[in-house]
Amino acid sequence: MSPGLPTAQSPAPPTEATTAMIEGSGLSKVYGLSEPRAAALLQGAHPAPSIAAAGGNLAVHDVAFTVDQGELFVIMGLSGSGKSTLLRMVNRLVEPSSGTVHIDGADVTGMEPAALRELRNRHISMVFQHFALLPHRTVRENAAYGLQIRQLPVRERLERADAALHQVGLGDRGDVRPHQLSGGMRQRVGLARALATDADILLMDEPFSALDPLIRRDMQDLLLRLQAERRRTIVFVTHDLNEAMRIGGRIMVMKDGRVVQCGTGPEILSSPADAYVSDFVSDVDRSRVLTAGAVMRPALLTATVDEAPAAVLDRLANAEANGVFVLGDDGRLLGVARDEDLAAALRDGEPDIAGRVADTFDVVPPDLPLSDLLHLAGRNVVPVTVVEDGRLLGVVPRAAILSAIAMPGRSGRA
CATH number of domain containing 233: 3.40.50.300
**Residue 34 belongs to some domain of the structure:** no
- Secondary structure of the chain as H, E, C letters: CCCCCCCCCCCCCCCCCCCEEEEEEEEEEEECCCHHHHHHHHCCCCHHHHHHHCCCEEEEEEEEEEEECCCEEEEECCCCCCHHHHHHHHCCCCCCCEEEEEECCEEHHHCCHHHHHHHHHHCEEEECCCCCCCCCCCHHHHHCHHHHHCCCCHHHHHHHHHHHHHHCCCCCCCCCCHHHCCHHHHHHHHHHHHHHCCCCEEEEECCCCCCCHHHHHHHHHHHHHHHHHCCCEEEEEECCHHHHHHHCCEEEEEECCEEEEEECHHHHHHCCCCHHHHHHHCCCCHHHHCEHHHHCECCCCEEECCCCHHHHHHHHHHHCCCEEEEECCCCEEEEEEEHHHHHHHHHCCCCCCHHHCECCCCEECCCCEHHHCHHHCCCCCCCEEEEECCEEEEEECHHHHHHHHHCCCCCCCC
Whether 277 and 174 map to the same domain: the answer is: yes
Residues 164, 193: one domain?
Answer: yes
One domain, residues 127 and 142 = yes
Q: Does 5 fall in a domain?
A: no
Same domain (yes/no): 222, 142: yes
Q: Which domain holds residue 351?
A: 294-404
Kindly state whether residue 238 falls inside one of the protein's structural domains: yes
Quote the pLDDT of residue 407: 62
Show which of 289, 318, 346 is a domain's final residue. Answer: 289
> 279-305: string of b/e by CB count within 10 Å (b at 16+)?
ebbeebebeebbbbbbbbeebebbbeb
- Single residue among 271, 289, 307 that ends a domain in this structure: 289
Both 329 and 234 in a single domain?
no
In a domain, 97, yes or no: no
Instruction: Say whether both 138 and 238 belong to one domain.
Output: yes
Same domain? 400 vs 300:
yes
On whether both 159 and 282 belong to a single domain, the answer is: yes
Same structural domain for residues 303 and 367? yes
277 and 368 in a single domain? The answer is no
Q: What is the number of other CB atoms lying within 10 angstroms of the CB of residue 36? A: 8
d(CA 343, CA 347): 6
Give the chain's domain count: 2
279 and 177, same structural domain? yes
Q: What is the pLDDT of residue 38?
A: 92
- Residues 67-86: tens digit of each pLDDT: 999 999 999 998 899 999 99
Q: Which of 274, 289, 304 is the last residue of a domain?
A: 289
Residue-wise pLDDT tens for the chain (414 aa)? 444 444 433 333 333 444 789 999 999 999 999 999 999 999 888 899 999 999 999 999 999 999 999 999 999 998 899 999 999 999 999 999 999 999 999 999 999 999 999 899 889 998 887 777 888 999 999 999 888 888 888 999 899 999 999 989 888 888 999 899 888 888 899 899 999 988 899 999 998 887 888 888 888 998 998 898 889 999 999 998 889 988 988 999 999 999 999 999 888 888 889 988 988 888 788 888 888 988 899 998 999 999 999 999 999 998 888 899 999 988 899 999 999 999 999 999 999 999 999 988 899 999 888 889 988 888 888 899 999 999 999 999 988 888 888 765 444 433
- 317 and 205 assigned to the same domain: no
Task: Report yes or no: 254 and 81 within 8 Å, Cβ to Cβ.
Answer: yes
Q: Is position 411 within any domain?
A: no
- Would 144 be classed as within a structural domain? yes
Would residue 78 count as lying in a domain? yes
> Is position 59 within any domain?
no
Q: What is the pLDDT of residue 211?
A: 83
Domain with 340 in it: what CATH number?
A: 3.10.580.10
In tens, the pLDDT along 297-350 reads 999 899 999 999 999 999 999 888 889 999 998 889 999 999 999 999 999 999
